């Protein structure tokens, strides 16, 4: 996908929204560890977002039923790595955090803006969920220099226009010294450029709209590779 201009959005076939790659088992083990040890750092859900979060869980389960690598039953799901995950509609985002590699952010319209009202965010790339929850898009992206007024207006138009059934996506590429997936950072913390830049971190970011609640879902599939591997493959 093109990444030169934000937001760089392209259509994604709905069947390709949720990805399972070679890192699935390792990433799911890390998600399980993070949810167990740091639940307040990787999960937030406001009361107003509960119906949307439950709708998102149902939507993801519908997607997984169409796959051969997941076995979806009434009370649980067996993952591609053989792990059985109980289904809990009272903890919909945490349940999702145990099912798929993607992180999910829920954004709901209030007046002319969309607010972040819930998320399961195990793999943040230099931002902190606790600092962003309840804030509109422009405030969420305050530390991003490229997210200026023009980009903010284009993104808001995109959020207003996206229809249920559509999947829109983009990808970015970020250079890191550390391959750790959980990399939170406060807004006002100093941004230090990568020294060795030994790892390339890429996020496949997708947007969908849930038909019942109207909430917009921002999903993030994170991949990290060593840059020498990347060079060898070129």
Across 90-100, average pLDDT: 98
Q: Scan for tokens 């983009």, then name that residue.
A: 170
Q: Scan for tokens 């649980």, then name that residue.
A: 76
As a whole-number percent, the residues of the chain with pLDDT over 70 amount to 89
pLDDT bracket for residue 195 (50, 70, 90): confident
| Interval 96-152: pLDDT, tens | 999 999 999 999 999 988 999 999 999 999 999 999 999 998 778 665 555 556 676
pLDDT value at 233 more than 50: no
Across 32-51, average pLDDT: 98
As a whole-number percent, the residues of the chain with pLDDT over 90 amount to 75
Q: What's the whole-model pTM score?
A: 0.90
Q: How many residues does the chain have?
A: 234
Least confident range of 124-128, 172-176, 193-197 = 193-197
Q: How far apart are CA 231 and CA 31, in angstroms?
A: 29
Tell me the pLDDT of the chain averaged across its residues.
90
Q: Angle 103-46-133 (CA atoms, 0-180°, nearest 5)?
A: 60
Measuring CA to CA, how many Å separate 153 from each of 88, 114, 156, 158, 183? 37, 12, 5, 9, 28
Q: How far apart are CA 148 and CA 157, in angstroms?
A: 14
Across 159-187, average pLDDT: 93
Which pLDDT belongs to residue 187? 83
Least confident range of 87-96, 98-107, 149-158 = 149-158
DSSP-assigned beta bridge partners for residue 43:
120
**DSSP structure string for 55-119:** HHHHHHHHHHHT-SS-EE-SSEEE-TTS-EEE--TTSHHHHHHTT-S-EEEEEEEETTEEEEEEE
pLDDT value at 155 more than 90: no
**Position with higher pLDDT, 233 vs 23:** 23
Q: Angle 67-69-75 (CA atoms, 0-180°, nearest 5)?
A: 80
């Amino acid at each position: 996908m093109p990444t030169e201009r934000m937001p760089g959005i392209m259509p994604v076939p709905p069947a390709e929204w949720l990805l399972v790659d070679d890192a699935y088992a390792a990433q799911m083990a890390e998600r399980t560890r993070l949810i167990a040890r740091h639940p307040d750092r990787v999960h937030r859900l406001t009361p107003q977002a509960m119906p949307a979060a439950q709708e998102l869980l149902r939507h993801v389960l519908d997607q997984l039923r169409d796959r051969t690598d997941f076995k979806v039953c009434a009370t649980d799901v067996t993952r591609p790595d053989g792990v059985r995950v109980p289904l809990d509609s009272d903890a919909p985002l945490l349940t999702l955090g145990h099912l798929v590699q993607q992180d999910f952010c829920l954004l709901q319209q209030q007046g002319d803006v969309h607010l972040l009202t819930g998320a399961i965010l195990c793999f943040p790339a230099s931002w902190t969920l606790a600092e962003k929850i309840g804030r509109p898009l422009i405030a969420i992206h305050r530390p991003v220099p490229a997210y200026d007024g023009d980009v903010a207006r284009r993104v808001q138009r995109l959020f207003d226009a996206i229809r249920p059934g559509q999947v829109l996506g983009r990808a970015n590429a970020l250079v890191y010294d550390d391959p750790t997936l959980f990399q939170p950072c406060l807004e006002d913390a100093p941004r230090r450029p990568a020294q060795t830049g030994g790892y390339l971190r890429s996020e496949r970011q997708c947007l969908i709209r849930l038909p019942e609640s109207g909430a917009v879902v921002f999903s993030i599939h994170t991949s990290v590779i060593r840059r020498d591997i990347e060079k060898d493959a070129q």
